[in-house]
Amino acid sequence: MKVFDFPLVRITIWFLLGILFFYYQQITMLFSIIAVIFGFVIFLILYFLSKKHKLSISLFGISAYFISFFIGGISLLAHTDSLQKSNYIHCKKAFENPCQITFTIREKLKSNLYSDRCTAIMHSVNGKIQTGKIIVNIAKDSTTNRILIGNQIKVKTTLKRNNSNKNPNQFNYDKYLADRQIYAQVYINKSEIKINREITKDIWYYSDFLHQRIIRNLEKAHFNPAEMNVALALILGQQQEISSDIIQDYQYSGATHILSVSGLHVGFIMLLINFLLKPIPNTRKGSFIKLISVLTALSSFAIISGLSPSVLRSVVMFSFLAVGNHLRRTGNIYHTLLVSMLLILLFEPYFLFDAGFQLSYIALFFILWLQPLLKKIWSPKNKITLYIWDALTVSFAAQIGAFPLCLYYFHQFPGLFFITNIAIIPVLAFVMVAGIIVMVYAAFDVPPEFLAQILEKSIYLLNQIIHAVASVKSFVILDISFNFYFLVTFYLLIFTSIIWLKKPDYPKFVFFVLAIITTQISFIYTKKETETKKEMIVYNVKKKTLITIVSGKNVDLFTTNKLLLANPKNNILKSYLVGNFSKIKSITTIKNVMFYNGKKIFIIDSSGIYKNNMQPDILLLIQSPKINLERVLSEMHPKVIIADASNSNSIQKIWKETCSKKNIPFHATAEKGYYQLK
């Protein structure tokens, strides 16, 4: 049976289209509900007509897809917290003045050098009920008081909106948090807060309680901290304490996926549970006991792992497989995959925009779809050779599927991913089995030291293998420019080529050739767009001044920072160069006068020196010059004032007021982001 012959597959596709459409277009909930009611009425009418007239069956299907489309949209609207009247984002006072707010700590995040970070659920602002999720930044100090998951906290502070990207082509952190329904943060000290004695004991509290118990017992078993943090990531999906060096090794070797708990980990757990329950006979009662045991184990694992998108997807899918085995129905694995997606997105539609969720599904789909085709290329008789070939085909299938998305999101490609996967699978299999045993033991008591040492040494070996592969830097391709046009056309090319190779015929070959032409057009269009690009940008760099003038692919860099002259590829510049397919042509020290596109730009630096008769179009203020701006404006008559982030905040406020009085546009990069002149 073909995949698309299954009605629920088409319903799922229209459901996904509904989520996407409502994400980018503002549709009201009232209109959506009316549309669903209208669609349901038509659905019922056509349902009864379809029994008598076969011609109405196609219309019956269209009405079902119409309903599915709007249910997808309604699901997204219902899970958009900013649309709720009680959400704190509508409380303007909380963002303007210090208010008494109460919230409950929900989940710990990765800390930085200055703060411990966590998410929290808002309860009230100045005694008025307000809901929503926020990020809490608690300044690190010498006190030993720990903030626990479930703590109810009261503090007087101001909500801070999430920072949008202040420089071009940077990661949009504001959008990333908004997709997780987090619209604000608070910055507090432990001395300022009041903690309620009562702890909210929900699923998040018990999950963290179990984590902390496992960590304490592993520490008592003298588990090395570095290896323990990797073990917590591999088994429980807790990556908060892993060092950046280890994460970079996993990225460069192409093994990042094993740190994110997903289908591989859930599959190991399901196999282990089935192995332990093997003595139970496959009677009706025995099969039911096995089903309940598997579902309980998978659900418990999902809760302990923090209910991440990849874990939820894997747990739901394997749960469907377990139910299918119990009912003696083999089913179609593609249907199981799509039904699990439908169920997850019905309750968490914003998961669709999560990079991990997308990569997880596309990789698994290609393993199921492409790996059998790759496996047919060669059939080795030797068992060891067969194992290596199977590992290679699975790895290549997953990488081919995830390749365009990885380039689009991360702009890098680990060239030795296939060696990594062959080398680590035996070690990883042992680590997973040993890890599950040790973690379960640690959840109740201190594990025997010899068991902890076995797991520790195996993780150490795993880290060393990955580090060895990652050390071959010549095979790690970084800073790959890859835009949305490439993403779409590459997937079109991959899909048409595989469909044609599976069952070659003339129509499929035509589509394959059209995909090649479309890909070439995307390259030509991108090249034309890049070569005709001309702009000047004043960047937002704290305590530094950075300006670029772009002409096609060439970038002329102007700066006052000597360290930047020695190493121009900092993160801000790197993001711009990669995003615009550009390269640095020259590096020049900033002078007081610049010209661009017929406009004169005068720059006043810390010296405060300027000429009265310059009459510039744009006045750029850098390095907090001690000047009387009102006098400068009356003498130079600039049309626009720009202040970059090298100036102090206090002096920028004075300049802003002065420009407001003179009715002259004032652009502070620290407030509005980079300044672009075309």
> Tell me, what CATH number does 180's domain have?
2.40.50
Residue 14 above 70 pLDDT? yes
Phi-psi map region of 302: left, alpha, beta (phi>0 left; psi -120 to 50 alpha): alpha
Q: Are residues 123 and 171 in the same domain?
A: yes
Q: What is the mean pLDDT of residues 213-231?
A: 87
pLDDT of res. 328: 60
Q: Please state, as a whole number, how many other Cβ atoms lie within 10 Å of the Cβ of residue 378.
A: 11
Domain boundary among 181, 200, 219: 200
The region of weakest confidence among 48-62, 100-114, 227-241, 597-611 is: 48-62
497 and 465 part of one domain: no
In a domain, 523, yes or no: yes
What's the mean pLDDT in 113-135?
91
According to the model, what pLDDT value does residue 264 have?
Answer: 67
pLDDT over 90 for what percent of the chain? 38
Residue 16 belongs to a domain: yes
Is the pLDDT reported for residue 257 higher than 80? no
Answer yes or no: is 264 within a domain: yes
Residues 237 and 323 placed together within one structural domain of the fold: yes
Among 16-25, 257-266, 607-616, the range scoring the smallest mean pLDDT is 257-266
Domain identity same for 157 and 30: no
Task: Give the confidence band of 1 by pLDDT, cuts at 50, 70, 90.
Answer: very low
Domain shared by 421 and 281, yes or no: yes
Domain that holds residue 187: 88-200
In-domain check, residue 425: yes
614 falls within a domain: yes
pLDDT in tens, 81-95: 999 999 999 999 999
- 384 lies in some domain: no
Mean per-residue pLDDT of the chain: 86
Please report the DSSP string for 89-129 in residue order: GG-THHHHS-EEEEEEEEEE----SSEEEEEEEEEEETTEE
Report the 3 state secondary structure along 404-467: HHHHHHHCCEECCHHHHHHHHHHHHHHHHHHHHHHHHHHCCCCCCHHHHHHHHHHHHHHHHHHH
Of 85-94, 185-194, 298-307, 449-458, which gets the smallest average pLDDT? 298-307
Are residues 155 and 140 located together in one domain of the fold?
yes
Please state the domain count of the chain.
Answer: 5
Check whether residue 309 and residue 434 sit in a common domain.
yes
What pLDDT, on a 0 to 100 scale, did the predictor assign at position 154? 93
pLDDT over 90 (residue 226):
no
Q: pLDDT for 276-308, tens place per residue?
A: 888 888 777 888 888 888 888 888 777 776 666
The pLDDT assigned to 2 comes to 56
| Segment 371-398 mean pLDDT | 84
Q: Which residue among 21, 45, 78 closes a domain?
A: 78
In this model, does residue 479 exceed pLDDT 50? yes
Residue with tokens 């203020």: 621
Q: What pLDDT, on the 0 to 100 scale, is given for residue 233?
A: 81
Same domain, 450 and 344: yes
Task: Provide the pLDDT for residue 512.
Answer: 94
CA distance 588 to 546: 10
Is 539 within the bounds of a domain? Answer: yes
**Is pLDDT above 50 for 535?**
yes
Residue 63 and residue 22 share a domain: yes
The answer to the question of residue 263 being in a domain is yes
Same domain, 139 and 21: no
CB burial of 660-674 (b: ≥16 within 10 Å; e: otherwise) equals eeeebebbbbbeebb
Q: Are residue 234 and residue 173 in the same domain, yes or no?
A: no
Q: Kindly state the helix (H) or strand (E) to which residue 182 belongs, with its residue range.
A: strand 182-188
Domain-terminating residue out of 477, 496, 518? 477
Strand, coil or helix: what is 618?
strand
For the cut 50, the answer to whether the pLDDT of residue 645 exceeds it is: yes
E strand or H helix at 573: helix 571-579
Name every residue whose Cβ is closer than 8 Å to that of residue 165 and which is 6 or more positions away in sequence.
171, 172, 173, 174, 673
Instruction: Assess whether 527 and 551 both reside in one domain.
Output: no
